[in-house]
């Protein structure tokens, strides 16, 4: 009876993670439909996510919220990396097809396995170096052809996507240290609030949209795609194994490809699919130790 309960609980956790990953796949659609610069969109994403999570955190983790301030340096680093990473990712999504941007961002697990030996004193696995080689090959296949002439991808968009993955890898490594002191929910909230402060100067001189639909998209991106989906993901993560959850997050680039094709007429090329498959294979190799 207990085994059946554990099985049902893990199945529910997998469903939570999978649903969150599919939701994240729609981020690029919102980013492309809102007429704002990438850092401004990133600001409103973390702002609306914070507004959703603050009441929940104070209702359920008020004491921990206060105690977590002792680890403000770690939490500030998370916020900085989040602000940089999401700004770069959104910039990439505006310049190249969202499927390509998300695939490039999924080099993050490979980067994380290379950063971990430096910052976490973990042993560098040979498989991590092999995974990096595969992911770089995937990026090259996706981006270049005919003697390394850029295909129809904006080079700034490609570089932004790769750097977004590097920033996210730094966020993952820094999170591992922070989560020894605070819960993932509290770390997420403080990261969002810090990122909002860092990104707030992007509002200077920005022409905010006057149409209500753009604000609906921004609220959905922050409150639903971030506040709700991240909470759902963390809940699912608590019910299932990390490795299984990591595999399920690969539904994000798959759903991003579908969303881009349906809503933005961004039909993926064969090169995008082959290069993306290589990057995901490398990512799986890096996380399946």
pLDDT reading at 266 higher than 50: yes
Length of the chain: 289
Reduced to 3 states, what is the DSSP secondary structure of residue 125?
coil
User: Of 241 and 236, which is predicted with more confidence?
Assistant: 236
- pLDDT one-digit tens code per residue, 51-97: 999 998 888 888 888 888 888 898 999 999 999 999 999 999 999 98
Distances (CA, A) of 49 to 44, 61, 78: 8, 17, 15
d(CA 93, CA 85): 12
Reduced to 3 states, what is the DSSP secondary structure of residue 277?
helix
- pLDDT one-digit tens code per residue, 148-162: 445 556 889 999 999
Decide if 220 contacts 52 (C-beta within 8 A). Answer: no
pLDDT band per the 50, 70, 90 thresholds, residue 147:
very low
pLDDT band per the 50, 70, 90 thresholds, residue 283:
confident
d(CA 169, CA 111): 6
| Residue 166: predicted pLDDT | 94
Decide if 42 contacts 226 (C-beta within 8 A). Answer: no
The torsion angles phi and psi of 150, rounded to 5 degrees, stand at -60, 130
pTM of the model: 0.87
Give the mean pLDDT of 236-262. 84
pLDDT band per the 50, 70, 90 thresholds, residue 6:
low
pLDDT reading at 1 higher than 80: no
User: Of 137 and 184, which is predicted with more confidence?
Assistant: 137
Give the mean pLDDT of 261-267. 92
- pLDDT one-digit tens code per residue, 166-176: 998 898 888 87
Q: Which residues touch 164 (CB under 8 Å, ≥6 apart)?
A: 85, 86, 88, 89, 92, 101, 104, 105
Give the mean pLDDT of 34-49. 97
Give the mean pLDDT of 197-221. 95
pLDDT reading at 27 higher than 90: yes
| Residue 107: predicted pLDDT | 87
Give the mean pLDDT of 119-128. 77
d(CA 112, CA 166): 8
The torsion angles phi and psi of 211, rounded to 5 degrees, stand at -85, 135
- pLDDT one-digit tens code per residue, 223-236: 999 999 988 988 88
Give the mean pLDDT of 239-247. 74
pLDDT reading at 181 higher than 90: no
Decide if 250 contacts 284 (C-beta within 8 A). Answer: yes
Q: Which residues touch 263 (CB under 8 Å, ≥6 apart)?
A: 29
| Residue 63: predicted pLDDT | 87
Give the mean pLDDT of 273-282. 89
User: Of 242 and 29, which is predicted with more confidence?
Assistant: 29
pLDDT reading at 146 higher than 50: no
User: Of 169, 71, 76, which Cα lies nearest the Cα of 119?
Assistant: 169
- Helix locations, 71-183, DSSP H: 72-95, 98-105, 108-119, 126-143, 155-178
């Amino acid at each position: 009876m207990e085994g059946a309960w554990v099985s049902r609980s893990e199945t529910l956790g997998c469903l939570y993670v999978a649903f969150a990953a599919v939701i994240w796949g729609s981020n690029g659609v919102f980013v492309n439909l809102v007429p704002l610069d990438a850092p401004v969109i990133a600001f409103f994403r973390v702002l609306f996510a914070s507004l959703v999570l603050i009441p929940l955190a104070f209702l359920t983790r008020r004491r921990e919220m206060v105690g977590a301030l002792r680890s403000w340096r770690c939490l500030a680093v998370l916020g900085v990396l989040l602000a940089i990473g999401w700004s770069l990712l959104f910039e990439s999504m505006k310049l190249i097809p969202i499927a390509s941007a998300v695939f490039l961002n999924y080099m993050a697990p490979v980067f994380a396995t290379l950063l971990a030996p430096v910052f976490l004193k973990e042993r560098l696995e040979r498989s991590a170096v092999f995974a990096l080689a595969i992911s770089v090959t995937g990026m090259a296949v996706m981006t270049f052809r005919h003697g390394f002439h850029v295909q129809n991808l904006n080079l700034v968009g490609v570089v932004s996507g790769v750097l977004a993955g590097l920033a996210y890898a730094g966020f993952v490594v820094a999170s591992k240290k922070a989560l020894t002191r605070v819960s993932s929910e509290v770390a997420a909230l403080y990261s969002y609030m810090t990122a909002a402060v860092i990104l707030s100067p992007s509002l200077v001189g920005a022409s905010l949209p006057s149409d209500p639909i753009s604000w609906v998209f921004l609220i959905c991106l922050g409150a639903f795609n971030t506040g709700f989906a991240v909470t759902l993901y963390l809940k699912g993560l608590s019910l299932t194994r990390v490795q299984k959850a990591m595999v399920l997050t690969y539904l994000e680039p798959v759903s991003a490809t579908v969303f881009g094709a349906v809503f933005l007429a961004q039909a993926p090329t064969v090169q995008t699919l082959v290069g993306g498959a290589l990057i995901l294979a490398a990512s799986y190799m890096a996380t399946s130790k």
